[in-house]
Structures are given as structure tokens and as C-alpha cells.
Amino acid sequence: MRLSQSLIPTLKETPAEAQIASHRLMLRAGLVRQMSSGIYAWLPAGLRVLARIEQIVREEQNAAGAQELLMPTIQSADLWRESGRYDAYGKEMLRITDRHDRELLFGPTNEEMITAILRDTTKSYRDLPQIPYHIQWKFRDEVRPRFGVLRGREFLMKDAYSFDLDYESALLSYKKMMLAYMRTFQRIGITAIPMRADTGQIGGDLSHEFHILAPTGESGVFYDADFKAGNALSVKYDEAALNQFYQSVTTKYAATDEKHDTEIWATIPDARKREGRGIEVGQIFYFGKKYSESMNYSVIGPDGGKIFPEMGSYGIGVSRLVGAIIEAQHDDAGIIWPDAIAPFRTAILNLRQGDGACDAICESLHAEFGDDCLYDNREERAGAKFAEADLMGHPWQIIVGPRGAAKGEVELKRRASAERFELPVAQAVAMVRG
């Protein structure tokens, strides 16, 4: 992509409405634009990040045995009356009336809808277990939308739902999703700690929130410094490995302030106590038969009796993750994207547009990296190009100036470490390719 032709409207000034770094940087780097309170348009660079996160989430859901489907954003009020949540949900639900005066709503979550779908499509114990999921926009009419996409009203969520025949197998589904989440965050390149959490609107008695530590986080968190995420990518999806993994990530104390237990906390040595703030990027729930019973969903068991499935639900804030990652990974100059989700892995900075050698090297690099690089081919000062590349946070910058270009050399800069290398073009390409 040539920067001169792109729709990446970077801003020099700091937008006044943005209170925290990630919000400022998302606006300044041209990733999003606010369309109304808590509602954002995703511009091309922002959409690329969103799509990359979505793809990692999808691959890890699939690896855990979950199956993707797509449910609508608009739901009927009657569906929610079945579970009793239509009235309970309150003002956060955006209620809509169609031309026939039928009551609809913009879905804030999908427990009822997926239960209705499974009720219609699975009749026998042989049809379970199932873990359907989708990645779809949600709407919650938050009282205080703020911090950009971190607390929006319209936001993208991955939500999965598990249906099992008994408690043991439901718990195994819960552990599978816990592993899928840890693998997802590891692949994205961030650390998120699973913490015991309240179940709120969704209900149930077992829940973990996944928190990225950041001073601007909305939740107070307490955790044991000995928490180790380990290498989730090496854990297999078999029962023994899942149990061991679950043990290892949940034995160390970690809880949100709502679930904080001062008695247990008192038993942890002071040197290991950590108190801080976190951004909740995911939450998982086990809630048993809450929805299957209230919505009268059962399958026929082996003995001909009815079995009400044991359920759980599992959310990841896909759009929130974009802001949360920036909150955790930035410096004064701008964003520092992890390689796996950067909008462009490489930026090519042509410091002397019109110089034969510079132009030729830049064109060949642009052809080499194709869609995965952003070529700054504008007639701009070098300083402006450096500042924009740092702001946008590309993991690699290939800086092409006339002195080096004459010798067939370029300067390679790694955004995260600020390391610089002067290299022949082919070596720079090899290093970026890793």
C-alpha cells in the first residue's frame, strides 16, 4: 500500500476528547473515527488490526473444537421473555420496534438465541456436546461510554456457548475455552491473567475474567506475583493435559475486586501481593442449566429420560482488544504493535523521493512485501516520515536514504527495541521475514 494513496488520516494534534493513550493513539494513527457516542467507524488500518485479531481468535476457537456460525444482530423480545431477561436487562438493552409494532432488540449477547437454535436442532444425547460460536457486533447502551473502543456501545465480540450432558463434561468445556483464550492471547503477543470474577448479568457460579494489566484499566485486580502463564501453545486438548493446565493457571491467587477474598489474601506473603488495575478483554462463565431449564431445552438421554444441558458462555472483546493492546504497548512516540496483529508488518520510508537509487530500492521492496507493507512515498521531510512511522507502530521500518542506496544499503529499524541495522537490501528483507 502506498501511503500517498491510502485512507489513513493521521492527526498531528492530540484530540481533546481522548483521555487515555490508546484512545488518543487510535485517533491519531487514523485507525478509527467516532460516529456517535461509543460508536466507531473502523478505517482501513484499524480494520486490518481488527481482522487479524479476529482471525487468531477464530483459529484458536476452531482448534478447541468450537464451530463457527453467525447469528443476527437483531433479536426478538419474545426470545428474551422466555429466559426472563427481557425485563431484567434494563436500560443497557437497545429496544427497537418494527413497522408491525413487533418488539425487537439489538443483541447485547446471545445466550437465549443460541439456546433456541440448539433446542430446535439437537434432540438426542448423541447430538452433544457442542460449542458453537460467532464473531458479531453487539450493542450495549452503556451509561458512560468512554476510552474509545475500550467501552463502546457498539462493539465486536467473539461469543461461544457450550452445551454438555453433565457437569464434568461442562467443566471440561470450560477448561478448553480457558486454554483457547490463553493460546489466543499468547499468539497475539500479550499477557492476560485469568482472574476469579463475578457473573453479573449472565449468571452462574463459576467465572473468570482475563485482564491485561494497565494503570488505566477500569477494574481493580489482586494477584499473586508468582502467576505464570506458561506456554499454552504446547498444551494438548486431551483431558489430562487440560486438567493439569487449568490447575497450573488457577492455583495462584488472582481475583477482581468484586471477588476479592481478604482471608485468602492474608495468607499470601506480602512480597508476592500485587494490587493494580486491569482491562478485561475476555470473560468465561459456567452457569449450568439456567437457560436450558428456563427455555425448556432438553435432549433425550440413553434411558429415554430428559436431560437439560449444562451450559457455559465465553466472550472475547475483539474490538476492545485493539485498544487494550495499545494501552499496554505504546511509548511517547506512538503505538508499538506486536508482529502478529500489526496493520502492516513493515513500513518503507523513502527519504529522497525522486532519487533514482532510492526510488528503485523502495519500489522493489514494495513489490517484495506486497500487501503487508506501507510505502511512505510522499513528498515529505524525513522527520515527518519518521514520526508517522513511529506513531503508526509498524514492527519494522526500512529506511531508504540516498547515501546508503548508492551502495545498495538500507537502514532497518525495529520499533519495539529501537535497534537499528545498516544492511544490504537482501539482508534487510531476510531479517524482516524472520
Among candidate residues 388, 385, 389, the one with its CA nearest the CA of residue 415: 389
| Shortest Å, Cβ 285 to ligand P5A | 6
Do residues 425 and 358 make contact, with C-beta atoms less than 8 angstroms apart?
no
* Phi, psi (degrees; rounded to nearest 5) at 314: -145, 110
Least distance to ligand P5A, CB of residue 110, Å: 6
Q: Which residues bind ligand P5A (CB under 6 A)?
A: 109, 140, 142, 151-152, 155, 157, 159, 202, 280-283, 285, 313-315, 317, 319-320
CB of 37 vs ligand P5A, minimal distance in Å: 12
Min dist CB 138 to ligand P5A, Å, is 7
Residues whose CB is less than 8 angstroms from the CB of residue 258 and which lie 6 or more positions away in sequence, other chains included: 197, 198
Pick 147 or 222: Cβ nearer ligand P5A: 147
Give 186 or 313: the residue with its C-beta nearer to ligand P5A.
Answer: 313
- C-beta closer to ligand P5A: residue 249 or 423: 249
Could you tell me the sign of the dihedral formed by the alpha carbons of 277, 233, 26, 54, in that order? negative
Among the listed residues 221, 222, 248, 245, the one whose alpha carbon sits nearest the alpha carbon of residue 234? 245
Single-letter amino acid code for the residue at 4? S
Read off the DSSP letter of residue 254.
Answer: E
Alpha carbons 211 and 428: distance in angstroms, whole number = 36
Closest contact distance (angstroms) between CB of 312 and ligand P5A is 9
* Torsion angle (degrees, nearest 10) of CA 136, 137, 138, 139: -170
Shorter beta-carbon distance to ligand P5A: residue 197 or 400? 197
Residue 320 has what DSSP assignment?
H
Q: Nearest to ligand P5A by Cβ — which residue?
A: 317
Distance in angstroms (rounded) separating the CA atoms of residues 201 and 88: 8
Rounded to a whole number of angstroms, the minimum distance from the CB of residue 41 to ligand P5A is 15
For the CB of residue 207, give the shortest distance to ligand P5A in the complex, in Å. Answer: 9
CB nearer to ligand P5A: give 162 or 329: 162
Please say which residue, 23 or 140, places its beta carbon nearer to ligand P5A: 140
Residues 193 and 211: their CA atoms lie apart, in Å, by 5
Nearest distance, CB of residue 133 and ligand P5A, angstroms: 9
DSSP H or E segment with residue 315: strand 310-317
Do residues 195 and 221 make contact, with C-beta atoms less than 8 angstroms apart?
yes
* Closer residue to ligand P5A in complex, CB, 151/366: 151
Q: Read off φ and ψ for residue 342, nearest 5 degrees.
A: -60, 145
